[in-house]
Structure 1
Amino acid sequence: MRALLSLALLLQAASLCAEPRAELEGPVAGWRYDGLLERDEQARVAYPTPPIDRGAQRQRNLIEGRLRGIPGEQRSHRLVVNGNPLPLYTDSEGRFVRPYAMGAGSNSVEVRSAEGQSLKRVQFYEANGSKTPARLRIALGWDDPKAELDLHVVTPDGQHAFWADPVMDNGGGLDVDSVDGPGPEMFSMAAPLRGTYLVFVNYWGNLGSGGYNFKEGSNQNEVITAQINLVFSENTPNEKRETFLVPLRGIGDLQLIKSFNY
């Protein structure tokens, strides 16, 4: 009987160890003042591959952690930052590091499973008042690690933010151009201009072991699903958001996702 009980306990422990779970090394929960100490963010690396820093935003946070108990390289998990769901891709050991420009005030980071289960969540209050929250944020993510999609935003004064010209002189711009396949790509403005904005998504090309290419069929999914989150007054009592799911089938596809007045 004692042997059977020990075996049952071992099986139960193995089952618990095998359950999908997430670890978040940063940011940590609680009250914080980011920027109190100087840190060399350039020495940190994002997984699976480093994004290209286009220089539009500063004072970023790095969201870093690890998925455990997940067979193979499961890719259907989500990283939800202040309510914005983003595809979560990892390296072969389940690690991930993603940059995100968070503003002052209350912020949240959550890892969700493919079934929508919350695996890990932290809430923290950023007391550094110089970190201005985005009053307009547009986040693009997609579900194919072998495809490269690009976010394009045209502001009321006619300026056009995209990968080759990301920084505007009106205070807006692309935050990080993630080129490793799943995104995210983000546009943000702390003081949006009044007028009409245009939001486009372009299926630019594909990514393989030899680098970027424009070969049809070298993507992973026959139909790529892009998700665009449009957020106004993020993380405030006046927050409003819209989410769009857009199918893309061929290299060169360019779609107008939304035209709106601010």
Structure 2
Amino acid sequence: MRGLLLLTCLVLSPSLVFADPAAVLDGPVGGWRHSGIVDRDAEARVAYPTPPIDRGAQRGRSLIEGVIKAQGGVRQPHRLVVNGNPLPLYTDEQGRFVRPYNFGAGSNSVELVSADGQSLKRVQFYEANQSKTPARVRVALGWDDPKAELDLHVVTPDGQHAYWARPVMSNGGGLDVDSVDGPGPEMFTMTAPLHGTYLVYVNYWGNLNSQGYNFEAGSNQNEIITAQISLVFNENTPNEKRETFVVPLRGIGDLQLVKTFTY
């Protein structure tokens, strides 16, 4: 009996070892690395799944890219969890995705989670480039409607306003990427925040279909769009603190003050 069991295991083991994975992360890879810097590029390769338009101008971004295979022939939105920040993850028809992220020095993690909450792939890596300062303030916006376009707006203590038309501030803060191919993420980052009061807004700007952007009510996918905003202080340090806010948006033009905070 034991010999039969052993033979069965030997027969099955190749298929188990070489089974086609449900998700693949081409980058980043686990382990130890020194940078992996992606500066502004003529080909931003940010797509979800429409052609990329990247108005961000932050340096030191890395690309999170890979493929998630459709399960049962049905492709549903998944989640991308980066250093604990959950973000909606949509793919193209082949299941591929590419997203930018500004990782700081130290330990970082990237996880792909299925629509039903199953962990599909997770990598942990250590960024040894100490010049990559962790974000002291990070605001991440994601939403659950790929046919809607939402915008993140942040006003800093000196009165500067980061949004799609002005992604980079003179005080060192700005949008990592202004994602205009739905449904985000959009992220605001500051590595050396000013002391004072910050205002965080989310705006339902318009909708998106195969003909482009429009302002037609009802052309979005969901009747109520759920926006999730994560506010992270001192990311990836022993003093990290985070808050998450869920905001419903119903009509084009809706502008919600999500949070006022003092740093």
Deviation at 1:248, TM superposition (A): 0.4
Deviation at 1:130, TM superposition (A): 1.6
The separation in 1 between residues aligned to 2:76 and 2:113, in whole angstroms, is: 12
Structure 2 counterpart of 1:240: 241
Deviation at 1:170, TM superposition (A): 0.7
Structure 1 counterpart of 2:133: 132
The separation in 1 between residues aligned to 2:80 and 2:46, in whole angstroms, is: 14
Deviation at 1:50, TM superposition (A): 4.3
Comparing 20-29 and 198-207, the one that deviates more: 20-29
Helix, strand or coil: the match of 2:71?
coil
- CA change 1:235–1:50 in 2 (3 A) is farther
- CA change 1:78–1:182 in 2 (3 A) is same
Q: Is the 8 A contact 2:148 2:207 kept in 1?
A: yes
The separation in 2 between residues aligned to 1:40 and 1:192, in whole angstroms, is: 23
Deviation at 1:43, TM superposition (A): 4.3
Q: Is the 8 A contact 1:134 1:233 kept in 2?
A: yes
Structure 2 counterpart of 1:45: 45
Q: Which amino acid aligns with 1:213?
A: N
Deviation at 1:44, TM superposition (A): 5.9
The separation in 1 between residues aligned to 2:46 and 2:226, in whole angstroms, is: 23
Q: Is the 8 A contact 2:44 2:52 kept in 1?
A: no
The separation in 2 between residues aligned to 1:203 and 1:72, in whole angstroms, is: 32
Q: Is the 8 A contact 1:75 1:88 kept in 2?
A: no
Deviation at 1:68, TM superposition (A): 1.7
The separation in 2 between residues aligned to 1:212 and 1:199, in whole angstroms, is: 24
Q: TM-score, normalised by structure 1?
A: 0.89
| Structure 2 residue ranges without an equivalent (≥5) | 1-7
Structure 1 counterpart of 2:108: 107
**Hey, which bits of structure 1, 4+ residues long, moved more than 6 A?**
none
Count, aligned residues: 250
Deviation at 1:251, TM superposition (A): 0.2
Q: Is the 8 A contact 1:51 1:176 kept in 2?
A: no
- CA change 1:44–1:213 in 2 (3 A) is closer
- CA change 1:40–1:260 in 2 (3 A) is closer
The separation in 2 between residues aligned to 1:152 and 1:184, in whole angstroms, is: 13
| Structure 1 residue ranges without an equivalent (≥5) | 1-5
The separation in 1 between residues aligned to 2:162 and 2:258, in whole angstroms, is: 15
Deviation at 1:45, TM superposition (A): 2.2
The separation in 2 between residues aligned to 1:244 and 1:112, in whole angstroms, is: 20
Structure 2 counterpart of 1:196: 197
Give the alignment of 1:1-262 within 5 angstroms. 21-35=22-36, 42-43=42-43, 45-47=45-47, 48-72=49-73, 74-262=75-263
Q: Which amino acid aligns with 1:238?
A: N
What percentage of residue pairs aligned between the two structures are identical? Answer: 74
Query: Could you list the per-position Cα deviations for residues 77-96 of structure 1 after superposition, in whole angstroms to 9, with x for gaps in the alignment?
Result: 10000100000110101111
The separation in 2 between residues aligned to 1:43 and 1:204, in whole angstroms, is: 25
Query: Could you list the per-position Cα deviations for residues 138-176 of structure 1 after superposition, in whole angstroms to 9, with x for gaps in the alignment?
Result: 000000010000000000111111001111111100110
Comparing 164-173 and 40-49, the one that deviates more: 40-49
Comparing 225-234 and 124-133, the one that deviates more: 124-133
